[in-house]
């Protein structure tokens, strides 16, 4: 999840960090045609019961455990 988010965010100069264990790498992850970066990261995070949020202190975001878990 972190690698996916990092690759998708890199072209925009954004950093990514995980605040919790995000599990093993996805065996396969596909970004659908026309899907936004935000939507793709949210899709991956939901598959791991995680949420992503913007970081107020700079250009980046973090991945955290979902409140529902």
In terms of C-beta distances under 8 Å and separation of at least 24 residues, what long-range contacts does 26-34 make, across chains too? 26/1, 29/4
Residue-wise pLDDT for 55-67, tens only, equals: 655 555 566 555 5
The pLDDT score that the predictor gives to residue 65 is 57
Instruction: Report the SS3 class of residue 67.
Output: coil
The pLDDT score that the predictor gives to residue 69 is 42
Residue-wise pLDDT for 19-66, tens only, equals: 788 888 889 999 999 999 889 988 998 888 887 776 655 555 566 555
The pLDDT score that the predictor gives to residue 38 is 84
Instruction: Report the SS3 class of residue 51.
Output: strand
The pLDDT score that the predictor gives to residue 21 is 82
Quickly tell me which residue has 């991945």 as its tokens.
63
């Amino acid at each position: 999840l972190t690698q996916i988010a990092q690759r998708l965010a890199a072209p925009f100069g954004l950093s990514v960090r995980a605040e919790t264990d995000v599990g093993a790498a996805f065996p396969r992850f596909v970004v659908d045609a026309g899907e936004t970066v935000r939507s793709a990261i949210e899709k991956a995070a939901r598959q791991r019961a995680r949420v992503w949020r913007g970081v107020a202190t700079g250009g980046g975001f973090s991945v955290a455990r979902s409140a529902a878990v």
